[in-house]
């Protein structure tokens, strides 16, 4: 691919699109030209890229002529409709939706884990689900030396995972709650302020798991290249604006200690250990927000496993960054290096 590339951002006015624009500047990702697209109702607005204002255009079938890389962050429906159009025009699509993740012909990539998969793309590269990325980035260094055979995950997912509208609903509903005003939810199915509820994706009647939980199972297997790893997740929305947290318990093939895990993670790319029992200081959304590492702490032996094969930990990561825009941009950096 030529460098610098011509880049298009589909969904440029959304929460992830805004982060793409910010981190492209922050990481000095040079472009020959930048085109920003959104729906007709957003056409005519401007977005900020460095010290420039970029006009937002309506997305059409003619939007990708001359484009080298197209970042898609506008939902699976838009991706299914327009990603093939972009590929036909000669672009490589880096798609942040769920549209192509489980397509066996589409690489599902986390650069810290399986960058080699990029070479197998046929025009589309999928960005994994945010909960999957944040959970497995710190697990991969362990899996490489002591295979993880089972993962139990409980997620604490922020409003950012449901987009800018959900973040605004959390702010507005919290204000209403504090003022003793009624605030009927419009974006999410339940009142958000001072509340916790099961993730708002559809529940599969056959298994009882919701879509978010099944994504963690299927995507982990595909990214790790391990169809036999056993995964069970419980995904929950919490009233936090930004950055997801996850409680993870892993079972390994052989005995493993917290000290071994800390040694492995201390050298792992994209991971930062935040583990201070003396101060009771561990990963929190407020520390994870706005930065790209997955924070890892509460690293301890799982006392329910007498064989010593299991470790429990707690992680936090910015859903809009490593869980979305940063991961996508890291893929693009590998394409043009």
Angle at 290 between CA 7 and CA 132, to 5 degrees: 75
Catalytic residue among 143, 244, 252, 309: 244
- Spatial CA neighbour of 233 closest among 214, 257, 251: 214
Indicate the angle between helix axes 326-336 and 15-26, nearest 10 degrees. Answer: 50
Nearest CA among 99, 97, 68, 61 for reference residue 82: 61
- In the chain, alpha helices (H): 15-26, 76-88, 130-136, 140-145, 164-178, 211-224, 258-266, 285-288, 326-336
Tell me which of 130, 235, 245, 252 is the catalytic residue.
130
Structure confidence at residue 16 (pLDDT)? 95
The listed CATH number (1.20.1250.20, 3.40.50.720, 2.40.50.250, 2.60.40.650) that belongs to domain 6-128+324-336: 3.40.50.720
pLDDT at 290: 96
d(CA 122, CA 144) in angstroms, rounded, equals 28
Output the six-digit token pair for 119.
Answer: 């070479």
Domain with CATH 3.40.50.720 in the chain: 6-128+324-336
Q: For CATH 3.30.360.10, list the domain ranges present in the chain.
A: 133-319
From first to last of its 337 residues, the chain has per-residue pLDDT tens of 788 999 999 999 999 999 999 999 999 999 999 999 999 888 989 999 988 999 999 999 999 999 999 999 999 999 999 999 999 999 999 999 999 999 999 999 999 999 999 999 999 999 999 999 999 999 999 999 999 999 999 999 999 999 889 999 999 999 999 999 999 999 999 999 999 999 999 999 999 999 999 999 999 999 999 999 999 999 999 999 999 999 999 999 999 999 999 999 999 999 999 999 999 999 999 999 999 999 999 999 999 999 999 999 999 999 999 999 999 999 999 999 8
CATH class of 133-319: alpha beta
245 belongs to the catalytic site: no
> What's the confidence (pLDDT) of residue 337?
82
Spell out the SS3 assignment of 133-168: HHHHCCCHHHHHHCCEEEEEEEEEECHHHHCHHHHH
Tokens of 85: 């159009």
């Amino acid at each position: 691919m030529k460098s610098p590339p011509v880049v298009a951002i589909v969904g440029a006015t959304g929460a992830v699109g805004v982060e793409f624009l910010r981190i492209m500047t922050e990481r000095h990702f040079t472009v020959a030209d930048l085109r920003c697209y959104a729906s007709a109702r957003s056409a005519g607005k401007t977005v900020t890229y460095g010290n420039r204002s970029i006009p937002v255009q309506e997305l059409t079938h003619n939007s990708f002529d001359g484009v080298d890389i197209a970042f898609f962050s506008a939902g699976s429906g838009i991706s299914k409709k327009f990603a093939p159009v972009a590929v036909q025009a000669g672009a490589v699509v880096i798609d942040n939706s769920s549209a192509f993740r489980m397509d066996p012909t589409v690489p599902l990539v986390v650069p810290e884990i399986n960058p080699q998969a990029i070479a197998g793309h046929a025009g589309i590269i999928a960005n994994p689900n945010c909960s999957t990325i944040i959970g497995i980035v710190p697990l991969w260094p362990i899996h490489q030396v002591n295979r993880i055979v089972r993962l139990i995950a409980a997620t604490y997912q922020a409003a950012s995972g449901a987009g800018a509208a959900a973040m605004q609903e959390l702010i507005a509903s919290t204000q209403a709650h504090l003022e003793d005003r009624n605030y009927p939810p419009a974006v999410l199915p339940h009142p958000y302020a001072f509340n916790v509820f099961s993730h708002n994706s559809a529940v599969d009647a056959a298994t009882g798991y919701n879509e978010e939980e099944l994504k963690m199972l299927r995507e982990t297997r595909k990214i790790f290249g391990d169809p036999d790893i056993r995964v069970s997740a419980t995904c929950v929305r919490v009233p936090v604006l930004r950055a997801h947290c996850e409680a993870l318990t892993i079972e390994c093939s052989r005995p493993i200690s917290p000290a071994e895990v800390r040694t492995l993670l201390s050298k792992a790319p994209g991971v930062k250990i935040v583990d201070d029992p003396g101060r009771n200081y561990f990963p929190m959304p407020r520390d994870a927000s706005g930065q790209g590492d997955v924070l890892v702490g509460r690293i301890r032996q799982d006392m329910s496993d007498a064989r010593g094969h299991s470790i429990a930990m707690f992680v936090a990561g910015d859903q809009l960054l490593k869980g979305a825009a940063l991961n996508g941009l890291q893929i693009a950096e590998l394409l043009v290096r």
